[in-house]
Amino acid sequence: MSDISIEKELQKSYLEYSLSVIIGRAIPDVRDGLKPVHRRILFAMHELGNTYNRAYKKSARVVGDVIGKFHPHGDSAVYDALVRMAQDFNMRDPLVDGQGNFGSIDGDAAAAMRYTEVRMSKLA
């Protein structure tokens, strides 16, 4: 056994952990450009049968399913990701077809999730 400085070990461990979090969650996947939260939203919408040729569903329903089944984090993070996927000024090809106030390019916020409805776009 060798002596290890606790300070150096903490620095090394924290750096390794932070890099794994950044690579695993914050950087989009090179295969499809999606982060895990985006992938989970689309999967939940697919499981709900919320496709482009069906009726819109309340955003709160989709967010609730994502939080309950796949992404145990705050609802605002999931809803913000859902809103960004519906904004044509944020994504070249929106993956979500939104109905209601999803914000503007000027920085206006989207309406609360109870007032908006979504379904998958034909592209998704």
Confidence band (pLDDT; 50, 70, 90) for 73?
confident
Is the pLDDT score of 26 beyond 80?
Answer: no
Render pLDDT for 83-107 as a digit per residue (tens, 0 to 9). Answer: 999 999 988 899 999 999 999 999 8
Read off the pLDDT of each residue in 6-12 and give the average, rounded to a whole number: 91
Q: Which domain holds residue 78?
A: 32-120
Is there a domain that residue 2 lies in? Answer: no
**Is residue 78 assigned to a domain?**
yes
Total domains present in the chain: 1
Look at residue 93 and tell me if it is in a domain. Answer: yes
Instruction: Please report, for residues 7, 23, 110, 115, the alpha-carbon distance to residue 66 in angstroms, rounded to integers and kept in the order given.
Output: 39, 21, 19, 18
Task: Answer yes or no: is 102 within a domain.
Answer: yes
Asked whether residue 72 is domain-assigned, the answer is: yes
Catalytic residue annotation: 115
Whether the predicted model's global pTM rises above the 0.75 cut: yes
Report the pLDDT value the prediction gives residue 97, as an integer from 0 to 100.
96
Residue 79 belongs to domain with CATH number: 3.90.199.10
CB 121 within 8 A of CB 54: no
The answer to whether residue 43 sits within a structural domain is yes
